[in-house]
Chains A and B, each alone.
Chain A
Amino acid sequence: MAERSTGAAAAGTTAGAAAGTTAGAGFRAEHGGRGGARGRLADGLRAYRMIAGMWLRSTMAYRASFVMTTLGNFAVTALDFVAILLMFSRVDALGGYSLGEIALLYGLSGTSFGLADLAIGSMDRLGRRVRDGTLDTLLVRPVPVLAQVAADRFALRRLGRVTQGLLVLGYALATLDVHWTVLKVVLLPVMVVSGCAIFGAVFVAGAAFQFAAQDASEVQNAFTYGGTTLLQYPPTVFGKELVRGVTFVLPLAFVNWLPAAYVLERPYPLGLPHWTGFLSPLVALVCCALAGLAWRVGLRSYRSTGS
Chain B
Amino acid sequence: MGAGRLYAAVAAGGFRRYATYRAATAAGVFTNTVFGLILVYTYLALWDIRPHLGGYDRSQAVTYVWLGQAFLATLAIGGGGAEEELMERIRTGDIATDLHRPADLQLWWLAADVGRATFQLLGRGVVPFVFGALFFPVALPTDPVTWAAFLGAVLLAMLVSFGIRFLVALSAFWLLDGSGVTQIAWLAGVFCSGMLLPLNVFPGALGEVVRALPWASLLQAPADVLMGQARPLGTYALQGAWAVALLAAGRLLQTVATRRVVVQGG
Contact = CB atoms under 8 A, between A and B. Distances in A.
Interface size class of A (residues with CB under 8 A): 35 or more
Contacts of B28: 6-7, 10-11, 218
Contact of A1 (B50, B85, B124, B195): B195
A7 B31 contact: yes
Contact of B196 (A79, A95, A215, A221): A79
What is the interface of chain B mostly: helix, strand, loop, or mixed? helix
Contact of B80 (A12, A91, A221, A222): A12
Contact of B180 (A72, A95, A236, A237): A72
B35 interface: yes
Interface string A226-258: 100110010011110010000000000000000
A68 interface: yes
Interface residues of B, number: 53
A86 B69 CA distance: 20
Contacts of A87: 42, 46, 197
Given A86-B197, A229-B38, A11 B80 contact: yes
Given A91-B50, A242-B37, A76 B31 contact: no
Contacts of B186: 2, 8, 76
A90 B190 contact: no
B195 to A, nearest CB: 6
Contact of A11 (B24, B187, B197): B24
A86 B73 contact: no
Interface string B211-231: 000000000000000000000
Interface stretch (A14-22, A24-32, A104-112): A14-22
Interface string B20-59: 1101111110111011011001101110011001000000
Contacts of A76: 183, 186-187
A105 to B, nearest CB: 12
A65 interface: yes
Interface string B173-201: 00001011001101100110001110001
A76 B195 CA distance: 13
A15 B17 contact: yes
A16 B187 CA distance: 24
A222 B28 CA distance: 9
A216 interface: yes
B34 to A, nearest CB: 4
A16 B24 contact: no
Contacts of A214: 23
Nearest to B22: A215
A65 B35 CA distance: 31
Given A76-B187, A89-B203, A94-B42, A69 B179 contact: yes
5 contacts: A12-B84, A94-B49, A216-B26, A218-B31, A238-B41
Q: Give the 6 A-B CB pairs with smallest separation, nearest first.
A: A8-B78, A216-B27, A218-B27, A83-B196, A222-B34, A72-B183
Interface of B: 17-18, 20-21, 23-28, 30-32, 34-35, 37-38, 41-42, 44-46, 49-50, 53, 69, 72-73, 76-81, 84-85, 120, 124, 177, 179-180, 183-184, 186-187, 190-191, 195-197, 201-203
